Structure formats: C-alpha cells, structure tokens
C-alpha cells in the first residue's frame, strides 16, 4: 500500500464534505451533485492508487520550471477572456504558446541529458 494515493483520497473526502455543506446551504441542485461526484471519484481513485501502487521508476524532472509556471499564467489569462473579451484570449494564448515551447525545450534537454 502506498501513501501517495491516500492524499488523493483525503482531497476527495474534503470535496465530499464541501458538497454536503453546499447541499445544506443551497439545497438540491447541480453544484452539490457535481462536487459530490468529483469527491467520490477522487476518493475511489486515491484508494485504487494506494492499493495497487507500484514502485515508481526513475523519472527525470526539473526542480524548477519557469516555462511550466508561465504556461499556467497563460491559461489563466486566457480564461479571463470570458470577462474581458477576445483580446485577452489572444494574449493568454500567445503567452501559453511561448511557454509550451519552453516546456518542450526543457523536456528535450532532459531526455538528451538522461542519455549521457
């Protein structure tokens, strides 16, 4: 049994708890149902991952990845287009595109380094 899956299950339990609180405040509706479904799926996935966990293989991963953080910023800026308009979607898309190129560059460099 691996402990990493239990973290996912704990997150799912928090979602289930929040769905119950939302159900008490709002009553029956889509929001509590969707949150409950996500929570139960997370609990199930976490328990399966904890039960069937395998020894992880060695994976090369960077300690710090500015392009990955910039990609998240680009997606968040693009999501703001729902409020501000399409110009923000174009801006966020451009940021995300440049960041995705940086992530690909990092990945290729790590693979090259792993072959040595």
Q: Confirm whether 60 is domain-assigned.
A: no
Handedness of CA 52, 57, 60, 63 (dihedral sign): positive
Same domain, 46 and 84: no
CA atoms of 50 and 10, how far apart (whole Å): 12
CA separation for the pair 17, 37 (Å, rounded): 12
Q: 60 φ, ψ to 5°?
A: -80, 125
Q: Indicate whether 57 belongs to any domain.
A: no
CA distance readout (Å), 13 to 44, 90, 104: 10, 38, 35
In a domain, 47, yes or no: yes
User: How far apart, in whole angstroms, are the C-alpha atoms of residue 73 and residue 9?
Assistant: 28
- Is residue 71 located within the same domain as residue 39? no
Q: Would 111 be classed as within a structural domain?
A: yes
Give the pLDDT confidence score for residue 1 in this predicted structure.
Answer: 62
Structure tokens at 21: 């609180």
Whether the CA torsion 49, 50, 52, 56 is positive or negative: it is positive
Q: What is the pLDDT of residues 30-55, one digit of tens each?
A: 888 999 999 999 999 999 988 886 66
Domain count for the chain, please give it. 2
pLDDT at 38: 94
Task: State the pLDDT at residue 14.
Answer: 95
Asked if the model's pLDDT at residue 63 lies above 90, the reply is no
With respect to residue 96, please indicate whether it lies within any of the assigned structural domains. yes
The two tokens of residue 34 are 């969707």
Report if residue 21 sits inside a domain: yes
Do both 45 and 85 map to the same domain?
Answer: no
| Domain range enclosing 96 | 66-115
Whole-number mean pLDDT of the chain?
88
Q: What span, in angstroms and rounded, lies between the C-alpha atoms of 45 and 103?
A: 28
- Asked if 71 and 111 sit in the same domain, the reply is yes
Average confidence (pLDDT) over 3-9: 85
């Amino acid at each position: 049994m691996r402990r990493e899956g239990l973290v996912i299950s704990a997150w799912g339990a928090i979602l289930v708890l929040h769905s119950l609180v939302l159900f008490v405040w709002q009553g029956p509706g889509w929001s509590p149902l969707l949150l409950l479904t996500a929570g139960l799926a997370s609990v199930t996935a976490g328990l399966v991952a904890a039960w069937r966990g395998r020894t992880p293989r060695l994976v090369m991963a960077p300690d710090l990845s500015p392009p990955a953080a910039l990609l998240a910023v680009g997606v968040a800026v693009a999501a703001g287009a729902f409020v501000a308009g399409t110009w923000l979607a174009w801006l966020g898309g451009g940021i995300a595109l440049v960041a995705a190129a940086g992530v690909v560059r990092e990945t290729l460099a790590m693979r090259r380094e792993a072959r040595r």
